[in-house]
Amino acid sequence: MADTAAPNNGVSSLAIEAHGLTKNFGNVRAVDGIDLTVPRGMIFGILGPNGAGKTTLLRMLATLLPADAGSAKVLGFDLKDSPHEVRGSIAMTGQFASLDEDLTGRENLILLARLWGFRGRNAKKRADDLLTAFDLMDAATKQVKDYSGGMRRRLDIAASLVVTPGVLFLDEPTTGLDPMARKSVWRMIRSLSEAGVTIL
C-alpha cells in the first residue's frame, strides 16, 4: 500500500520520543509530564478515560498544539525546532470524519491526492489504489453521506494515507463501529504496521 518510504534521518530507531510533555488549559492540566518511547513500526495504544488528555497528547505530537513544557521528537525531528519536517512525516485521523459528504468516496480521495501534488491519472490511480486496499471500490461512486459508519471510518483512514506517512496518529479509530467494521479497521492497521508505518 505504501508509495513513499517512511523518513529515516539516521537520528534514532524511535518513531516517537517524548520527555515531560505537559499541556495546561487555564488551571486544568490536560497532560501532566508524559514520557513516551515508541519504536519504529510499532502499533502503540494509549488508554485512559474521557478527559484523560489522549487527544491533547496526539495534537501536541502532531504539532497542532504547542506543549507548555517538555520536549518530543517524531522520527528524529524535534517538535519545536522542526515542525514542518514533523508534519511532512505524519498523518492524523481524528475522532470524527473529515470528508466532504456530498462528494463520492473516489472524488474525496482524488481531491486530496491533487492537493498533495498528484496530477491527472496519478491522482485517480492513487485514489483507486486506496479504495481497493480499503475494500471500498464497490462504493467508490456513492456519496459519502450514504456510507455506513464502518465505510466512512475506512475512507477517513484511507484519506490520511494519500501520501504514506512514517507515523499515523489515530484518535479512537473504532469508536461507534460494529464488530465486523472494527475487525476490518484493525486488519488494516496491522497491515500498515507490517508495511513499516508506526501507529499511535
* 4 within domain boundaries: no
pLDDT at position 9, please? 47
C-beta separation of 198 from 38 below 8 A: yes
- Residue 110 and residue 173 in one domain: yes
Is the per-residue pLDDT at 4 higher than 70? no
Q: Residue 5 pLDDT > 60, yes or no?
A: no
| 80 and 109 belong to one structural domain | no
In whole angstroms, give the CA distance from residue 52 to residue 9: 33
Instruction: Please give the model's pTM, rounded to 2 decimal places.
Output: 0.79
The domain boundary residue, chosen from 31, 60, 89: 89
Q: Are residues 70 and 129 in the same domain?
A: no
H or E stretch at 28: strand 28-39
Q: What is the pLDDT of residues 52-109, one digit of tens each?
A: 999 999 999 999 999 999 999 999 999 999 999 999 899 888 765 678 999 999 999 9
- Same domain, residue pair 85 and 109: no
Return the pLDDT at 189.
85
Q: What is 46-109 written as a DSSP string?
A: ----TTSSHHHHHHHHTTSS--SEEEEEETTEETTT-HHHHHTTEEEE-SS--S-TTSBHHHHH
Domain boundary residue among 89, 123, 149?
A: 89
Round the average pLDDT of the chain to a whole number and report it: 88
Q: What is the pLDDT of residue 108?
A: 94
For position 164, what pLDDT does the model report? 81
Residue span of the structural domain in which 144 resides: 105-199
Please give the backbone phi and psi of residue 79, each rounded to the nearest 5 degrees, phi first: -60, -40
Residue 9 lies inside a defined structural domain of this protein? no
- Regarding whether 190 and 125 lie in a shared domain, the answer is yes
Closest CA to 63 of 14, 18, 32: 18
- The pLDDT of 180-186, averaged and rounded, is 80
Strands 14-25, 28-39: parallel, antiparallel or unpaired by DSSP? antiparallel
Q: Is 114 inside any structural domain?
A: yes
- Do the domain assignments include residue 151? yes
* Judgement on whether residues 21 and 64 belong to the same structural domain of the protein: yes
What was the pLDDT predicted at 16? Answer: 97
d(CA 108, CA 115): 11
Which of 35, 61, 89 is the last residue before a domain boundary?
Answer: 89
Are 122 and 80 part of one and the same domain? no
Residue 63 included in any domain: yes
In sign, the C-alpha dihedral spanning 15, 21, 24, 29 is positive
Q: pLDDT confidence of 150, banded at 50, 70, 90?
A: confident
Give the number of domains in the chain: 2
Contact 153, 180 (CB under 8 A): no
- Both 160 and 77 in one domain: the answer is no
Q: Are 128 and 66 in a shared domain?
A: no
> Is-contact 79 71, C-beta < 8 A?
yes
* Domain of residue 49, CATH code: 3.40.50.300
CB 104 within 8 A of CB 155: no
Rounded Cα distance, 77 and 85, in Å: 7
Residue 99 falls inside a structural domain: no
Do 145 and 181 lie in one domain? The reply is: yes
